[in-house]
């Protein structure tokens, strides 16, 4: 029966797990100290997902790019397509943390959201405005 070794990344303990699986099912997970590790191992072997982080071009911004990420993990096999979508998109400044830059990317139910503020060129920061 094929075995796969995995390190659980759910918490800092980092249990080293072994997953035994046949062609259709997970037979056994060992080495995990809690059920979250088992759930992670099964997901990782059946439908691995990842949070994608990248940057997106910004038009008329104080900086030329803004950092972005998926607000939910997406299937690992869609990461390249997701990066292509991100690379084809240009956001208009100003960009605010949490702004949805691409909604429901690749029909995954996950949005590409900004993770930093990028002001527009010539925009005055609220804190610096004279009263
Ligand atoms: S199996 Fe449980 S204790 Fe071990 S790393 Fe995963 S979450 Fe942490």
pLDDT digits (tens, 9 = 90+) for 3-28: 999 999 999 999 999 999 887 788 89
Backbone phi and psi for residue 85, each to the nearest 5 degrees, phi listed first: -60, -45
Name the residue of 33, 38, 41, 42 whose CB sits within 8 Å of the most ligand 1 atoms, as the mutation to test its pocket: 33
Q: Looking at residue 126, what is its pLDDT? A: 59
Q: Looking at residue 27, what is its pLDDT? A: 86
In this structure, whether the domain defined by 53-124 belongs to CATH 3.20.20.370 is answered with no
**Residue ranges of the chain with pLDDT lower than 50?**
131
Instruction: Please give the structure tokens belonging to residue 53.
Output: 């982080």
Check if the beta carbon of residue 91 is closer than 8 Å to that of residue 63: no
> Which numbered atom of ligand 1 lies nearest the CA of 34?
2
34 lines ligand 1 (CB under 6 A): yes
Task: Please indicate, yes or no, whether the overall pTM of this predicted structure exceeds 0.75.
Answer: yes
Which SS3 state, helix, strand or coil, does residue 88 take?
helix
Residues of the chain with CATH 3.10.530.10: 53-124
Helix H or strand E encompassing 114: strand 112-114
């Amino acid at each position: 029966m094929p075995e796969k070794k995995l390190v659980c990344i759910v918490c800092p303990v980092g249990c080293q797990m072994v997953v035994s699986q046949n062609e259709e099912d997970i037979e056994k997970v060992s080495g995990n100290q809690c059920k979250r590790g088992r759930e992670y191992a099964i997901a990782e072997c059946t439908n691995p997902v990842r949070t994608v982080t990248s940057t997106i071009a910004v038009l008329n911004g104080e900086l030329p790019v803004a950092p972005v990420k998926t607000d939910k993990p997406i299937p690992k096999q869609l990461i390249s397509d997701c990066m292509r979508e991100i690379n084809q998109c240009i956001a208009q400044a100003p960009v605010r943390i949490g702004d949805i830059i691409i909604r429901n990317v690749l029909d995954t139910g996950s949005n590409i959201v900004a993770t930093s503020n990028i002001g527009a060129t010539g925009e005055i920061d609220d804190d610096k405005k004279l009263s």
